Amino acid sequence: MAGRVVEVPEYEIVESVEVPAREAAVIVVDMQNDFVKPEGKLFVPTAPATVEPIRRLLSRARSAGARVFYTQDTHYDGDPEFTIWGEHVKHGTWGWQIIDELKPQPGDIVVQKTRYDGFYGTPLDDLLRVYSVKYTVIVGTVANICVLHTAASAALRWYKVVVPVDGISALTEFDLHATLRQISWLYKGIVVRSVDGIRFT
């Protein structure tokens, strides 16, 4: 079947947004070796470019008192997802580990997940509520898969979703913009041009 060219409908990108730090959490989605490193089993070519922006965002978030969560995609022998993507982020392997450049710090929380959605079958929602979080700043990979499903679940639970364009990565440019359009239009999230436009107050 021949491919065809389609346009992503317009969506709003803002230059800056203020987020109350004490009601905010940054959720770093699946920044693991298998996805971010060229030798990884499911390397996303645009993921390395997001590492430094995410690092800057985390530094400011922690300094301001915002919570930091990581999702860690996790699979075991015989996982049905291997029939879709091949073996990846297998528990305990190098590929499963969160990249050293964004290594979780004391006080951060790592949530292991077995599906695309960071909320599915995990304590993430409960933990966000324990810490009175209302705003979720979501970064990571892969945009139209784990990032989008996690953002959707956050929005469906009435968390306000903020996503910086330079903080997420995708396998294709279409996937990136389709994701941002969906978050902006359907989930009423805030798409920010850069992590540097997110101000924790």
Predicted local confidence at residue 5, as pLDDT: 84
The question of whether 41 is a catalytic residue gets the answer no
Q: What is the pLDDT of residues 144-178, one digit of tens each?
A: 999 999 999 999 999 999 999 999 999 999 999 99
Would you say residue 1 has pLDDT above 70? Answer: no
Residue 69 lies in a domain: yes
* Residue 11 included in any domain: no
Angle, alpha carbons 128-118-34 (nearest 5°): 130
Catalytic residue from among 146, 160, 166, 175: 146
Q: Phi-psi category of 92—alpha, beta or left, where left has phi over 0 and alpha has psi -120 to 50?
A: left
In a domain, 14, yes or no: no
Secondary structure string (H, E, C) spanning the chain: CCCCCCCCCCCCCECCEEECHHHEEEEEECCEHHHHCCCCCCCCCCCHHHHHHHHHHHHHHHHHCCEEEEEEECECCCCCCHHHHCCCCECCCCCCCECHHHCCCCCCEEEEECCCCCCCCCCHHHHHHHCCCCEEEEEECCHHHHHHHHHHHHHHCCCEEEEEHHHECCCCHHHHHHHHHHHHHCCCCEEECCHHHEEEC
The catalytically annotated residue of 34, 37, 73, 113 is 113
* Phi, psi for residue 98 in degrees, rounded to 5: -70, 140
Give the number of domains in the chain: 1
Structural domain boundaries, residue 102: 20-200
Q: What is the mean pLDDT of the chain?
A: 97
According to the model, what pLDDT value does residue 103 have? 97
Residue 195 lies in a domain: yes
- Does any domain span residue 9? no
Q: Is residue 39 part of a domain?
A: yes
For residue range 3-41, list pLDDT tens digits in order: 788 888 999 999 999 999 999 999 999 999 999 999 999
- Residue 128 within any structural domain of the chain: yes
Angle between helices 148-156 and 173-185 (to 10 degrees): 0
**Cα gap 145→36, rounded to integer Å:** 15
- Report the C-alpha dihedral over residues 63, 193, 98, 82, rounded to 10 degrees: 150
> Does residue 170 form part of some domain?
yes
100 catalytic residue (yes or no): no
Task: Please say if 103 is a catalytic residue.
Answer: no
CATH number at residue 128: 3.40.50.850
Residue range 86-103: mean pLDDT, rounded: 97
Catalytic residue among 30, 34, 117, 175: 30
